[in-house]
Amino acid sequence: MSDISTSAARVRFVLVRTSQPGNIGAAARAIRTMGFSRLVLVAPQRYPDPEATAFASGADTVLDQAVVVPDLRSAIADCRTVYGATARQRAVALQEFTPREVAPRVHDAALAGGEIALVFGNERTGLENDELALCHGAVHIPAAPDYSSLNLAQAVQVLAYELRVAFLGNPSAPAPHRTDPVASAGQMEGFFEHLSTTLDDIEFHKGRSPETIMLRLRKLFLRAQPDERELRVLRGILADAQRMARLARPR
């Protein structure tokens, strides 16, 4: 397998709550033409479906190997880099990139050996805020503001094309050196649950909104992308804070 193929094999395109099976097939065709093959479907409304096969136009291997899961957390649990495509700013504050800006970042993550997910929402509503909160960053296609009506498969095609250009332009760059792998999305979610519980145990909020605090902390730690060893240290600190909180409580 070539360097490009190896890197491309680490990238998955995740379609969330897709309503039209034709869009699934067209997305399969879009990624196949750019050298990608991994498609994950989160709770599709209709799949498998003959319409998906028809719109795939021969990209049958992508559909045959597509993975269907019930929720986004399952789709990205082993990923170390996750970007969500969104057409507009949401309540979740994420660092935002164009497809051209995000492509080298995906390439570097692939060279480093991590699993990467590019996530696309429902055709009508896009990604919900709780789904975007699972992502490390947002990708926004700078379409014409007076008519920005890209359909799902077109958005997938734009990102797949930019990724291919980035992968072809620098296929043998040295991988960024990290002693330990970046923590996966599943490991980060376990950490966030531990962090939320610890903040409650130490009575941190004191009238402040727990949701707002957690959103800001999620943004901070997702941007930092701690590795597995760093995450173990952080969770050790949380465990000690919980132990001290228990000792401080009146018997």
Structure confidence by residue, pLDDT tens digits, 65-118: 999 999 999 999 999 999 999 986 666 678 899 999 999 999 999 999 999 999
String of b and e for 38-57 (b: at least 16 CB within 10 Å)? bbbbbbbeebebebbbebbe
For the whole model, what pTM was predicted?
Answer: 0.82
Q: What is the pLDDT of residue 40?
A: 98
**Whole-angstrom distance, CA of residue 15 vs CA of residue 72:** 9
Q: What is the pLDDT of residue 117?
A: 98
Q: Does 169 have pLDDT greater than 80?
A: yes
Q: What residue spans of the chain are helical by DSSP H?
A: 3-8, 21-33, 50-56, 60-64, 72-76, 99-111, 129-132, 152-169, 185-201, 210-224, 228-248
**Whole-angstrom distance, CA of residue 70 vs CA of residue 72:** 7
Taking residues 148-159, report their average pLDDT: 94
Q: Does 1 have pLDDT greater than 90?
A: no
